[in-house]
């Protein structure tokens, strides 16, 4: 494990990678994290060679806030009828666990949000946490680049020379796209040159930084050249 980039390497040699993305209740004005409930589980299963071996998708009926906001429906494309006809969280998580291969599976997601949301749902329903250990792929991706900053999924795809396939903010489509980034997260694929617009953006930042440095240096010189105020004694 890298001490500087602790998420760069998986916590153990996994026999299967379980890439999961969740969708949750939300609203345009914001929604407290502790009130969020899962409304979709999307999972892509891959073996140690990163060959896809299966998928799992289910909508989930929220218990405390069963009616989706218009913002949530528009963002995710999930209809009210989808969640009303779906299983509750206990049945949904049981279905996911049944779909995960035996052996040494590793639960992977982009960032820590999904792992924390699972933990809150388990607590809400008084269920034991039974998911495999978690690996933060956003941290792994940045660690492979030697960066502290974290990319969103769209930015990471672009940095890897890929484009998003499907609909953003749908659990199964997001999971499929995150799974495509595993070769870079594991250090098995080389990163392409920076996209041209990223190069232009970096050059612009460098010009702005140089201009700001010159301004600071000029002000410091002017301050040094100013005569001291006359003594009042």
For residue 231, pLDDT beyond 90: no
Amino acid 63: pLDDT: 95
CA distance 56 to 30: 29
Q: Are residues 204 and 150 in the same domain?
A: no
Report if residue 106 sits inside a domain.
yes
CA distance 7 to 20: 17
- CA angle, corner 201, sides to 191 and 137, nearest 5? 40
Report if residue 4 sits inside a domain.
no
Amino acid 133: pLDDT: 95
Q: Which sign, positive or negative, has the C-alpha torsion 115, 83, 165, 132?
A: positive
Q: Residue 200's domain spans which residues?
A: 194-226
Please tell me the pTM assigned to this model.
0.85
Q: Are residues 108 and 174 in the same domain?
A: yes
pLDDT in tens, 17-64: 999 999 999 999 888 888 999 999 999 999 999 999 999 999 999 999
Report if residue 112 sits inside a domain.
yes
Report if residue 3 sits inside a domain.
no
Assign residue 152 the CATH number of its domain. Answer: 3.30.420.10
3-class DSSP assignment, residue 80: helix
What is the total count of domains within the chain? 2
Amino acid 119: pLDDT: 96
């Amino acid at each position: 494990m890298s001490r500087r980039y602790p998420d760069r390497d998986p916590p153990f040699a996994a026999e299967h990678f379980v890439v999961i993305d969740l969708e949750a209740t939300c609203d345009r004005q914001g929604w407290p994290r502790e009130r969020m409930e899962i409304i979709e589980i999307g999972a892509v299963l891959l073996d140690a060679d990163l060959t896809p071996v299966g998928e799992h998708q289910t909508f989930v009926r929220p218990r405390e806030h069963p009616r989706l906001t218009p913002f949530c429906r528009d963002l995710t494309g999930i209809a009210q009828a989808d969640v009303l006809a779906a299983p509750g969280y206990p049945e949904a998580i049981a279905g996911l666990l049944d779909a995960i291969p035996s052996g040494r599976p590793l639960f992977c997601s982009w960032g820590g949000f999904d792992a924390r949301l699972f933990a809150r749902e388990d607590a809400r329903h008084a269920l034991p946490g039974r998911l495999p250990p978690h690996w933060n792929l956003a941290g792994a991706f940045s660690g492979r680049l030697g960066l502290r900053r974290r990319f969103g999924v769209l930015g990471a795809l672009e940095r890897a020379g890929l484009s998003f396939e499907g609909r953003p903010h749908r659990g199964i489509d997001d999971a499929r796209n995150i799974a495509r980034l595993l070769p870079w997260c594991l250090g098995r694929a080389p990163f392409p040159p920076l996209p041209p617009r990223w190069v232009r953006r970096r050059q612009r930042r460098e010009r702005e930084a140089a201009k700001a440095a010159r301004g600071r240096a000029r002000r410091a010189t002017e301050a040094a050249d100013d005569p001291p105020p006359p003594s009042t004694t």
